[in-house]
Amino acid sequence: MNRSNAQYQALTDGAGLLDFSDRTKIELTGTDRATFLHNFCTNDVSQLAPGAGCEAFLTDVQGKIVAHVFVFCGESSLVLDAVASQAAKIAEHLDCYLIREDVQIDDRTEDWGELFLSGAEAPEVLRKLGNQDLPTEPLSYSPLCHTPLRYKDMQITDQAAAMVRSVGLSGENGFFIQCQRRAVAALTDSLLAAGATLCEAEAFDMARIEAGTPLFGHDITDANLPQEVDRNEQTISFTKGCYLGQETIARIDALGHVNQTLCGVRFQGQVVPEIGTELMLDDKKVGRVTSATYSPRLAAPLALAYVRRGHNAVGAALASPIGAAEVIQLPL
């Protein structure tokens, strides 16, 4: 078994660990934080209670995606978690609409570290550190989405920003572990001593693509409309009322379709397609690969790809420069 496959096994069947400290982390405080954010994202932030979380898109006036975020509700703040290098973009987008509301927008990316622990044994590894009551509902309106990290070896001064957040990403039992930056190295050592396996990005891609999890900057850009990503159930409330970009999103919902959607695509053979590989049907381009990996579960190359309407149903047969392909259902 090669190194990537062994790490993939850790991320799915064991307890795989990655350092996600470069992910964007923005904290909103102030009495108007929930109603303010509610007006600029696709999901129903107003219904989040402390301990709950949701996935959402920030959208512009045309309904295009500005950012893909995870929102976590605390007692006195909302935390937005997104891919790396998005802090300035997200903060500037929100700040330009901030007028008289009591909201403070603070970039915590350099203050807070973040680890990602995933796999069937991840809960037991966390319990060995001291957490007996773990979050059980990934990105859920249930107040069981995130809880304080009870790390018996962490200094009291480091405890305030220490949280365990259930997020999925690579299947079941995926957790963000947020802590002070200065605590990351010690926390990593403790997790490894408790049975976790340090993993790399290639193995994470194997697991997250099998889970159908898109990443902004790879599978989502600011040219996309939310419904094109095909995560409506996770990211969009169609009953929350007005917000920036809502008119476009509601019109698409009324029409019943977009011109393309993000799909899982399985390839024959053993060659993993390059990013940008075109998908064809009858010599016409009908799709484009955005992320790709070798899937251990399928024993075949697997990609996320935008495929045009009429050719994106599960089971649809496609062609590519590296051979035949088929649209499949994700997560596996």
Give mean pLDDT, residues 285-310: 98
pLDDT tier at 314 (50, 70, 90 boundaries)? very high
Residue 146, pLDDT above cutoff 90 = yes
Say what the pTM is.
0.96
Instruction: Read off the CATH number of the domain in which 120 is found.
Output: 3.30.1360.120
**Whether pLDDT at 133 is above 90:** no
Same domain, 122 and 55: yes
Residue 76 has pLDDT above 90, yes or no: yes
Q: Is residue 214 in a domain?
A: no
**Per-residue pLDDT at 254 exceeds 90:** yes
pLDDT at 107 over 60: yes
How many domains, the chain?
2
Residue with tokens 């403070």: 104
Strands (E), the chain: 16-19, 23-29, 53-59, 65-73, 78-84, 104-107, 112-118, 146-148, 163-166, 174-180, 197-198, 260-267, 278-281, 284-295, 300-308, 317-318, 325-328
Domain stops at, among 147, 176, 209: 209
Q: What mean pLDDT do residues 208-236 have?
A: 98
1: pLDDT confidence band, cut at 50, 70 and 90?
low
Query: Shortest CA distance to 76 belongs to which of 146, 143, 28?
Result: 28
**Four-CA torsion 62, 68, 70, 74, nearest 10 degrees:** -50
Shared domain check, 269 and 165: no
User: 276 and 127, same structural domain?
Assistant: no
- Tell which wins on pLDDT, 283 or 279: 279
Residue 41 shares a structural domain with residue 118: yes
Domain interval for residue 254:
220-328
Confidence band (pLDDT; 50, 70, 90) for 302? very high
Instruction: Please tell me which residue, 328 or 132, carries the higher pLDDT value.
Output: 328
The pLDDT assigned to 93 comes to 98
pLDDT of residue 211: 97
- Whole-angstrom Cα distance, residue 258 to residue 308? 9
For residue 156, pLDDT over 80 is answered with: no
Task: Give the confidence band of 277 by pLDDT, cuts at 50, 70, 90.
Answer: very high
Residues 303, 209: Cα–Cα separation, whole Å:
7
User: How large a percentage of the chain has pLDDT more than 90?
Assistant: 90
| Residue 189 in domain | yes
Helix (H, G, I), strand (E, B) or coil at 273: coil
Average pLDDT of the chain, as a whole number? 95
9, part of any domain? yes
Q: What's the average model confidence in pLDDT over 113-129?
A: 95
In the predicted model, what is the mean pLDDT of residues 137-149? Answer: 92
pLDDT band at 155 (very low <50, low <70, confident <90, very high): low
Whether residues 170 and 225 fall in one domain: no
Residue 211 main-chain phi, psi, to 5 deg: -80, -5
Alpha-carbon dihedral angle through residues 306, 221, 82, 188, given to the nearest 10 degrees: 60
pLDDT reported for residue 160: 62
Q: Looking at residue 172, what is its pLDDT?
A: 86
**37 lies in the same domain as 156:** yes
Structural domain ending residue among the three candidates 209, 242, 267: 209
pLDDT confidence of residue 171: 87
Residue 209 has pLDDT above 60, yes or no: yes
2-7: average pLDDT = 91
Q: In terms of domains, do 56 and 153 share one?
A: yes
